[in-house]
């Protein structure tokens, strides 16, 4: 297992070498997973290997408190996630720009990273990204608190206790929700406004499910971002990554092929 120490925390990082020469992309593609019981495997199973196979160096990592990364008691603000990503890239000897692919909260991190470190971002793929609009933080904190209660004493917990696999995930989720600053840190997220989003000048491909509970965030991105392409997948909810994997693969691989076309051949 590959590990790096970043900001004093041990992170689980997987690096997949680019196949096919010449490489499709000069810059690595970094995948950022979602919150709670998610980890890097959701991208490993779906998009990461196809992207590496197409010719890009791929970096996947588990967010702090998730997967096989360390679970410190504090440091779960979006600004921490952004600083963690910068430090993980530093520790992985990646100092040039990267393409970011974020799912759900991973999209939140990707957007915030692009605002904080614009020179380190070549492009963004935002899958079902949560945008921290006013009120979002409180709503997310309430949702996560509800999941925590359901895991501890509700039907979800009873269902997950039936198998080793789900019991492990549930135990991790409960510890994160009940024994770290995860929820209050989420609640303390500063909202972003349209003016900030307009500063993101990198090309963005936003992908949402038509029946997503955050579909309003798709329309917001489309109206505000200077360079955005929006794909809305019919009959899909927030689970785009797993429910619509084949079409999402095509969307993402086409996107990176198009990004490659914008880079002078000598730099690929």
Site string for other proteins, 189-228 (x = CB under 8 A): ----------------------------------------
Q: Which stretch binds other proteins (CB under 8 A): 45-53, 102-110, 126-134, 147-155?
A: 45-53
Q: Please report whether residue 168 would count as binding other proteins according to CB under 8 A.
A: yes
Q: Please report whether residue 163 would count as binding other proteins according to CB under 8 A.
A: yes
How many residues touch other proteins under the rule CB under 8 A: the total is: 28
Q: Please report whether residue 41 would count as binding other proteins according to CB under 8 A.
A: yes
Alpha-carbon distances, residue 51 vs 7, 22, 24, 33, 122 (angstroms): 28, 14, 9, 16, 16
Pairing of strands 3-6, 121-127: unpaired
Q: Cβ 171 to other proteins, closest distance in Å?
A: 11
Q: Please report whether residue 57 would count as binding other proteins according to CB under 8 A.
A: no
Contact 151, 170 (CB under 8 A): yes
Q: Please report whether residue 40 would count as binding other proteins according to CB under 8 A.
A: yes
Which residue in 53, 117, 178, 229 binds other proteins (CB under 8 A)?
53
Pairing of strands 204-209, 228-233: parallel
Cα-to-chain-centroid distance, residue 180: 20
* Closer residue to other proteins, CB minimum distance, 66 or 217: 66
Alpha-carbon distances, residue 3 vs 12, 91, 176, 212 (angstroms): 5, 10, 20, 34
Pairing of strands 121-127, 228-233: unpaired
Q: Please report whether residue 14 would count as binding other proteins according to CB under 8 A.
A: yes
Residue 159 CA to residue 144 CA, distance in Å, equals: 18
Cα-to-chain-centroid distance, residue 230: 17
Within 106-159, strands assigned E span 121-127
Q: Please report whether residue 8 would count as binding other proteins according to CB under 8 A.
A: no
Q: Cβ 162 to other proteins, closest distance in Å?
A: 10
Count Cβ atoms below 10 Å from residue 213 Cβ, excluding itself.
12
The contact set with other proteins (CB under 8 A) reads 1-2, 14, 16-17, 19, 39-42, 44-46, 49-50, 52-53, 62, 67-68, 163-165, 168-169, 242, 245-246
């Amino acid at each position: 297992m590959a590990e790096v120490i970043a900001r004093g925390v041990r992170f689980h990082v997987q690096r997949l070498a680019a196949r096919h020469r010449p490489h499709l992309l000069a810059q690595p593609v970094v995948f950022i997973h979602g919150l709670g019981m998610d980890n890097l495997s959701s991208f490993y199973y779906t998009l990461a290997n196809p992207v590496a196979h197409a010719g890009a160096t791929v970096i996947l990592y588990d967010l702090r408190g998730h997967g096989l990364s360390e679970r410190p008691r504090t440091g779960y603000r979006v600004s921490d996630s952004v600083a963690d990503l910068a430090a993980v890239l530093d520790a992985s000897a990646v100092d040039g720009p990267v393409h970011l692919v974020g799912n759900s909260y991973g999209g939140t991190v990707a957007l915030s990273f692009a605002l904080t470190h614009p020179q380190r971002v070549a492009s963004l793929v935002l899958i079902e990204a949560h945008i921290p609009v006013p009120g979002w933080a409180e709503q997310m904190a309430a949702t996560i608190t509800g999941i925590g209660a359901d895991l501890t004493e509700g039907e979800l917990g009873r269902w997950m206790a039936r198998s080793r696999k789900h019991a492990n995930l549930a135990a991790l989720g409960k510890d994160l929700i009940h024994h770290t600053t995860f929820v209050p840190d989420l609640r303390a997220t500063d909202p972003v406004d349209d003016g900030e989003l307009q500063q993101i000048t990198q090309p963005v491909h936003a992908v949402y499910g038509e029946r997503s509970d955050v579909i309003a965030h798709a329309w917001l991105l489309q109206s505000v971002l200077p360079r955005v392409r929006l794909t809305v997948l019919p009959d899909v909810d927030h689970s785009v990554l797993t429910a619509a994997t084949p079409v999402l693969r095509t969307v993402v691989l086409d996107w990176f092929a198009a990004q490659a076309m914008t880079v002078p051949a000598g730099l690929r």
